[in-house]
Amino acid sequence: MGVLDGKVVLVTGGGNGIGKECALLAAKAGAKVVVNDLGGSLSGADEGDAGPAEKVAQEIRAAGGEAVSNSDSVTEYKAVEGMVEQAKDEFGGLHAIMNPAGILRDGMFHKMSEDDWKAVIDVHLHGTFNVTRASVNHFRDQEDGSYVLFTSTTGLIGNIGQANYGAAKLGIASLSHIIAMEGERKNVRSNVIAPFAWTRMIASIPVKDEAGRERVERMKNGMRADQVAQFAVALCADKAKDVSGQIFSVRGNEIVLFNQPRPVKSVARLEGWTPETIVDQALPSMQGSFTDLGPTTTVFPYEPI
């Protein structure tokens, strides 16, 4: 017996990295799996290839599981609707979606092109909208559904050189929380994971010094994609039905629960504020509670928290 027995799961970005491990583990846990992957390059600049998704589906079938592949793009709403219908047609339903599909187009913000901004937002934020919007009414109608979406510490904490990626990933965290709020009465759950794992995204990052090389080796050996997949699959299980609207991180064998933005300090002035009193009184009184910028001299993302 597996924790996903009787479930049908759609995994986007399932041809490589975290998505691949999620698809394989979901099948081992008893789920029937639709493996989606465009099969494109890390930058998303090419047309893609149906091979990676089908290879993972074949691996699942060879191990005795049930899986089909799909090579459409999460950036196309109609295509995502087709993934949902494919799950229903092939396996009779859909109960959970894991959505780690993504690309990277890093660069300093003052040098970032409009195309690089739009491409990353389109895959990550719009792609997440497409995946959730195309399936949410099905989940609400059957009063059962779980989303496992993927954020990043780049969005939650920040990282130099990834303004497009960070903006998209923080948007996903907010979207997930509101889906969870609106879906609570219908047993529609949504959570996000900020993963630390060695994937082709991490492998693409230039290593410029010995400290960077040491960090890469630690991540490569101790922070694997399959460790993230263990938690993603668990969030889809019926026993996790009371877990929704949360932000988690998985780093090796460590699971981290993040807090979410809430007020930390307030100031008031009975006679009202002026620009002068704000800069002289309000801002200085709040300064001790400011969040610092964090590291500002590195472009190495996904640094352990």
Positions marked catalytic: 165
The residue behind tokens 């879906």 is: 183
Say which residues have a Cβ less than 8 Å from residue 34's Cβ, sequence separation at least 6.
Answer: 8, 9, 10, 11, 67, 68, 69, 70, 83, 86, 87, 90, 91
Alpha helices in the chain (DSSP H): 17-28, 51-62, 77-91, 114-121, 127-142, 153-156, 163-183, 200-203, 210-222, 225-235, 275-277, 283-286
Query: Is the distance from CB of 251 to CB of 305 less than 8 angstroms?
Result: yes
Q: Which two tokens stand for residue 184?
A: 């609570």
Find residue 255's DSSP bridge partners. 250
Q: Decide the pairing of beta strands 96-99 and 67-70.
A: unpaired
97 forms beta bridges with: 10, 147
Residue 70's closest CA among 44, 42, 88, 50? 50
Residues 6+ positions from 291 with CB-CB distance below 8 Å? none
Region at 113 (left for phi over 0; alpha for psi -120 to 50; beta for the rest): beta
